[in-house]
Structure 1
Amino acid sequence: MGAVAPALQGLVDQGALSGMVTLVWRGGEVVQSLAIGKRDIAGDLPMARDTLFRIASMTKPVTSIAALMLIEEGKLTLDDTITRWMPEFKDMRVLKDPAGSLDDTVPAARDITVEDLFTHRSGLAYGFTSMGPIAHAHEAKLGSPLVNSLSPDAWLKALGELPLSYQPGERFHYSHATDVLGFLVARIEGRPLGEVLKARIFDPLGMSDTSFWLAPGKRDRLAKLYEANIDGSPLKDVSFPQTDAPSAFEAGGGGLISTADDYLKFARMMLGRGEVDGVRLVKPETLDLMTANRLSETQREHTFLGMPFWLSQGFGLGVSTILDAQKHEWMGAGAAGAFGWPGAFGTWWQADPANDMILIYLIQDSMPLGPEAVTAMQGQRPTGRIGGPMFQKMVYAALA
């Protein structure tokens, strides 16, 4: 794997990325750890193994594990309708055309279930994955998908007032579903999601650097978020502002900050079918249920962010799983059964049971998250995004 570092350094030298931290864990030990480039270009601060990253949608599997723990305890089931705890989603309307008028709707054929939230088949949306009026309505009523001044109750009320893009259960449409799942967990537990995750996951696994809010003493370790321009001009610092106190809005779909080693602990628990270092969070059969594909063949025919994402993969209860390793070569590397879920800022991880291996790749490369941003994603992508697939392919080639 000696060729990995020079290849990734090349992306930094080109100005495509500020830097990255990567880990390769196999057979019980970290076999490679890289920290390349800068976490803060203007401050001339280098990337380090303990650099903190906004992991965006890598948050989703964490929230999903918390919800699965409640399922094991009998506090909810996959078949439960969420209106039992969230009356905000009673009597939902569904757009006749996902890109059409917000007034042209039909009644939802059924209520949203807990499983619908896990699998993004709720009919809910993100502004950035939608087109037309519903995309702009998300921005106007809800604000940013990651940083929000609304309380959870106010946000849920606003979301429930928007029509669904699709009928519940109809198709995978990437959305705020995991945010809703996180707030559902919080309502059942009677305390904020961050407290639930800390008590149930972070403290038991020793994930002391993972949270929704960063205390002042740790902020120097946070990697800046940069925007790369297609014209090759210097990276632009677009980092989120820091707050003096934790926000009431804790996005279970994308709000966590973490490190490579902290997330490795979570990934090892996942690879260990719910257990790591003598600490068990969920039963093996629960983890197996989580990683098994739940999308139908018809649902997998749809594109995701303009790509044939499901050509080689399925989606379970909060993670994607490789179903065909050969077909997966177009976008990365991994054996059948390998699973994970990436983040919008280029963060990525994968646990591969067949090879007893975990890969973690962390960068801070901003992407559009405004209304209709899915159209921008279908065009030319910044050069830095090739680093993830390159990292994967080079690691797997070294195993051959």
Structure 2
Amino acid sequence: MPNIHHANQGLNPNALEHVTQLLNRYVREKKVAGCSMYITCGGSEYRKNFGFADLAEKKPIADDTIFRIYSMSKPITVVAALMLYERGLFSLNDPLSAYIPEFAEQKVVLLDKAGNKYYETPKTPITIRHLFTMTSGLAWMEDSGPAAEEMGALMRSSAIEGKGTLEVAKLVARRVGLAFHPGEKWLYGYSHDVLGALICALTGKTFGEFLKEELFEPLGMEDTGFWVPRSKAERLANIYCIADDGSLQPAEGYTSGLFEPKLLESGGGGMLSTLGDYARFCRMLLNGGTLNGERILGRKTLELMAANQLNDHQLSYFKQGALGYGYGLGVRTMMNPACGGHNGSVGEYGWSGMAETWFCIDPAEDMAAVFMTQMIPGKFDPIPRLLPALYSALE
């Protein structure tokens, strides 16, 4: 379990040059079009921008560049839900159906030996803990199997048009089977989107309204949300991919719908943010739940969030975590740095996003870091080389 007491060691200016040189090399070698890095440790800060937000126009990454953070939305959703947990609005072991009754009727969908679908009643109901820990059985449409196929059929259908976050979650409960009995496995899926729906059910607000009032405004996260106003459109970074010839090419289809408000606000992957905004969120986590006098969560709740929640069997399915990591409430958490060849600390936690965004919190070292870029993954992962350089800079 992470220790909130800090070493206050600071950053070594000379060693930080390793970080700067590495990120410059990523841009020079066309591994990324551009990126931004933020590190804080013991009161020292490092913040630099590299490369371009738009290669064709030679528009540099700036302090106010807006990034699609995709799955880095998940820790924000988890923190928002834990705010309601602290207010006594639910317990982790409560059945989800106590708050969204439609989930009481959801079945598990499986395949027999002939490849035909059949349905079973869940051996145990989905609990709110299952949502936090991704052990609910709620699949996403990019997965394989009948549950993912049913999710894809729903999400690509007209049935969700004009529906909000809670309404779509209810449709999922009615029309999509679970990939397994709740608690059996770990699966990176739709669980945190349903956490967002739970927040709607508990508060009577849209998910976006709750986040703005209770999290973004108190933390000063002025550029974080589910869409980009037209007045800020020029600040949105382009998203790129590495082509077969090694060149960087614009990735198509990742800007559609970003400039209009959404009814369906995805807690699993729908947010956009800036380096500065997400750094504020991370400093709040590092400070034990407070920032600039605003208390968001209690210290003990953050310790619960960052503690491994999976048993050995569930951990065997945890594909998003590198060696040495477990999984807490919506975050990876380091259990054995040596196992993963990691020069970090037990209790370091964080998450990443589809466009290669990433963050970590290391309470033992009083360190937080955020990395932003806009690259569709598959051919290069910037983090494994960045981590050793980052940790080498700690005094």
Q: Would you call these one fold, judging by a TM-score over 0.5?
A: yes
After the TM superposition, which residues 342-357 of structure 1 pair with which residues of structure 2 at under 5 Å, given as runs?
342-357=352-367
Give the deviation of 1:95 after TM superposition.
2.9
Residues 228 and 259 in structure 2, CA contact (< 8 A), matched pair in contact too: no
After the TM superposition, which residues 1-400 of structure 1 pair with which residues of structure 2 at under 5 Å, given as runs?
1-30=16-45, 32-97=46-111, 101=115, 103-128=117-142, 130-143=143-156, 150-160=163-173, 161-238=175-252, 239-243=254-258, 245-304=260-319, 309=321, 311-329=323-341, 333-367=343-377, 381-383=378-380, 385=381, 387-399=382-394
In structure 1, distance between residues paired with 2:379 and 2:82: 36
What amino acid maps onto 1:394 in structure 2? Answer: A
Give the deviation of 1:223 after TM superposition.
0.9
Question: For this pair of structures, how many residues does the alignment match?
Answer: 376
In structure 2, distance between residues paired with 1:292 and 1:148: 38
Query: Taking structure 1 as reference, are residues 99 and 198 closer, same or farther at Cα in structure 2, changes over 3 Å only?
Result: farther
Q: Please, what is the CA RMSD of the aligned residues?
A: 2.2
Structure 2: runs of 5 or more not aligned: 1-15
Give the deviation of 1:272 after TM superposition.
1.6
Residues 98 and 134 in structure 1, CA contact (< 8 A), matched pair in contact too: no
SS in structure 2 of the partner of residue 24 of structure 1: strand
In structure 1, distance between residues paired with 2:242 and 2:373: 12
Query: Taking structure 1 as reference, are residues 281 and 94 closer, same or farther at Cα in structure 2, changes over 3 Å only?
Result: same
Give the deviation of 1:149 after TM superposition.
6.2
Residues 33 and 49 in structure 1, CA contact (< 8 A), matched pair in contact too: no
TM-score when normalising by structure 2:
0.89
Query: Taking structure 1 as reference, are residues 283 and 314 closer, same or farther at Cα in structure 2, changes over 3 Å only?
Result: same
Give the deviation of 1:65 after TM superposition.
1.1
Structure 1: runs of 5 or more not aligned: 368-380
Query: Taking structure 1 as reference, are residues 243 and 285 closer, same or farther at Cα in structure 2, changes over 3 Å only?
Result: closer
Query: Taking structure 1 as reference, are residues 102 and 347 closer, same or farther at Cα in structure 2, changes over 3 Å only?
Result: farther
Task: Percent identity, please.
Answer: 35
In structure 1, distance between residues paired with 2:366 and 2:326: 20
Give the deviation of 1:100 after TM superposition.
8.6
Residues 98 and 166 in structure 1, CA contact (< 8 A), matched pair in contact too: no
Listed one character per residue, the Cα deviations across residues 184-238 of structure 1 (whole Å, up to 9, x for unaligned) are 1012111111110111111111111111111111111111112223442432232
Query: Taking structure 1 as reference, are residues 278 and 234 closer, same or farther at Cα in structure 2, changes over 3 Å only?
Result: closer
SS in structure 2 of the partner of residue 2 of structure 1: helix
Give the deviation of 1:14 after TM superposition.
2.5
Residues 225 and 273 in structure 2, CA contact (< 8 A), matched pair in contact too: yes
Query: Taking structure 1 as reference, are residues 188 and 215 closer, same or farther at Cα in structure 2, changes over 3 Å only?
Result: same
In structure 1, distance between residues paired with 2:227 and 2:339: 39
SS in structure 2 of the partner of residue 127 of structure 1: coil
Give the deviation of 1:389 after TM superposition.
1.9
Residues 213 and 257 in structure 1, CA contact (< 8 A), matched pair in contact too: yes
